[in-house]
Structure 1
Amino acid sequence: MTYQVILPAAGLGKRMRAGKNKLLLELKGMPVLVHTLRVFEEDEDCEGIILAIHPQDEQEFKALLRKYRVRKVLNLVPGGDERQHSIYNALKTVESNGIVLVHDAARPFIRKGHIHRLTETARETGAAIIGVPAKDTMKKVQDGVVVETVERSSLWAVQTPQAFRISILREAYEKAERDHFLGTDDSSLVERLNVPVSVVEGDYDNIKLTTPEDLFFAEAILKKREKEFC
């Protein structure tokens, strides 16, 4: 099932405390952004990539695309103040009427098999997200005090990509803009249309690199995957 993918890459990554866009940090000698791009560059089902970027990173990003021969990037669009605004800017440039994915550029470990399951589910149902069951006991806390223990079996940690029929995602973003609604992810916008969102189980390697500690986990995941292919 073919698709296009939007990668929001305009964040400043303040929690990483790197002094620059965290996507330019290197893992095994290659920028995080390139690790993520290569997943889609090497997927035969990916028809194109749209990057939402901060203008100050444009020249460096273009240089990386040339250096690492990334050829599927169709557009570099300006990011907005919020992730949601960046994605909406990118979504406006999508010309296909099929399936569009939205994926955090700082999640370089998504597996191609999970992408394919996700896009196929979105083709059948209209909307699908990837996630993993919560492993920890979950507490609802207010003012530093436990209010209740939340039943865990129905809780999932949601990741990206998230996949949608383009018509559905456009409608969701247009409604959010009219209502001045800022959601936590793309699925939260689609849910406001009363569109059922299916869940595909992924794996716990698909982490988002957010804080300096995540880089240690990323190195461990890379080492583990190297052994898988030995």
Structure 2
Amino acid sequence: MALTLSLTLSVSARRFALIPCAGTGSRAGGSLPKQYQTVAGRPMIWYALAAFAACDAISATALVLAPDDMPLESRFGAAAFAGLRFDTAFVGGDTRHASVLAGLHHLAQLGATDRDWVLVHDAARPGLTPAMIHALVRAVEGDGAHEDEDGPDAAIGGILAVPVPDTLKRADAPPGGQPAAVVRIGATVSREGLWQAQTPQMFRLGVLRQALQEALAAGAVVTDEASAIERLGLHPRLVNGSLRNFKVTYPEDFALAELLLGEGAGKP
């Protein structure tokens, strides 16, 4: 697919954070969406907002909530988020894809341009730190300094990720496509060259919007921003993340998040 946007580096490009927060988090259990459940004494979403607020490199942060949601200050009280700078947009959709796309349009209303960078982060990754954000920014913005600026991948963007350390198994498919009472190994999958994607995922705003719009028009399922970028024939950079930056998905994940964040509560 043709990429219609210029990718020439611009020293004036700013960086915006975008946190889609419109999901229900049903796999995590609980009466509240997981991003609102308490981890080490604070709502989970606080940690991501605090990490970006602590980075001078980030011009603004937009939190994307569902249209029928309420402001965080109303849900938890203004004191819970005192000192954190973020803008709330009630434009979330039924999918992450739709929420991010709507969030990009909101950032444009805040003054972001197609040349600016956007860092999209999962609300359910409370282990993010300012150091991780700075590492991603340095790596991505440093790409153009070492590659031909006319090359297709120069300063395209990149994501935090970790190499897969474990042996991987593919489950054997049960006969007739029926659910199996006992799941058995079908094959061992080589982990060579495999990385587990994390967030933030950092791209030029205009390129990401184009990628998401084209995927939506084609009916393509994209599970993260990088996969939409890949559909354009581009190759984002992999930047070493951290196991601390894991995604809270299941009920047992809350205990691990408590262990990681308990001693440093209030220090992103």
TM-score using structure 1 length = 0.90
2 CA distance for matches of 1:65 and 1:38? 16
Q: Is the 8 A contact 2:89 2:106 kept in 1?
A: no
Number of aligned residue pairs: 228
Q: Is the 8 A contact 2:50 2:84 kept in 1?
A: no
1:116 aligns with 2:137: no
After TM superposition, the structure 1 stretch with the greater mean CA deviation from structure 2, 98-107 or 143-152, is 143-152
Report the 3-state secondary structure (helix = DSSP H, G, I; strand = E; otherwise coil) of the residue aligned with 2:220. Answer: coil
Q: Is the 8 A contact 2:171 2:187 kept in 1?
A: yes
1:73 aligns with 2:103: no
Structure 1 unaligned segments of length 5 or more: list them.
Answer: none
Report the 3-state secondary structure (helix = DSSP H, G, I; strand = E; otherwise coil) of the residue aligned with 1:51. Answer: strand
Q: Which one has the bigger strand percentage? A: 1
Quote the residue 1:218 is aligned against. Answer: 257
2 CA distance for matches of 1:187 and 1:51? 20
Q: Is the 8 A contact 2:71 2:88 kept in 1?
A: no
Aligned-pair Cα RMSD in Å: 2.2
1:7-156 equivalences in 2 (<5 Å): 7-64=19-76, 66-67=78-79, 68-95=81-108, 96=112, 97-123=115-141, 124=143, 125-143=155-173, 144-156=183-195
Alpha-carbon offset, residue 55 of structure 1: 3.1
Q: Which runs of 4+ in 1 moved over 3 A?
A: 59-65, 144-147, 223-226
2 CA distance for matches of 1:214 and 1:190? 29
Quote the residue 2:243 is aligned against. Answer: 204
2 CA distance for matches of 1:169 and 1:61? 30
1:174 aligns with 2:192: no
Q: Is the 8 A contact 2:49 2:84 kept in 1?
A: no
Superposed CA deviations along residues 119-178 of structure 1, whole A, max 9, x for unmatched, are 233333212011111121012223144343221131111111100011211110121122
After TM superposition, the structure 1 stretch with the greater mean CA deviation from structure 2, 71-80 or 181-190, is 71-80
1 CA distance for matches of 2:234 and 2:131? 25
Report which structure shows greater RCO (CA 8 Å, sep ≥6). Answer: 2
1 CA distance for matches of 2:31 and 2:262? 26
Superposed CA deviations along residues 12-57 of structure 1, whole A, max 9, x for unmatched, are 1111111112122112221111122111111111111111112343
Q: Is the 8 A contact 1:6 1:52 kept in 2?
A: yes
2 CA distance for matches of 1:32 and 1:109? 10
Alpha-carbon offset, residue 109 of structure 1: 0.8
Structure 2 unaligned segments of length 5 or more: list them.
Answer: 1-12, 144-154, 174-182
Q: Which one has the bigger helix percentage? A: 1
Report the 3-state secondary structure (helix = DSSP H, G, I; strand = E; otherwise coil) of the residue aligned with 2:158. Answer: strand
Q: Is the 8 A contact 1:122 1:165 kept in 2?
A: no
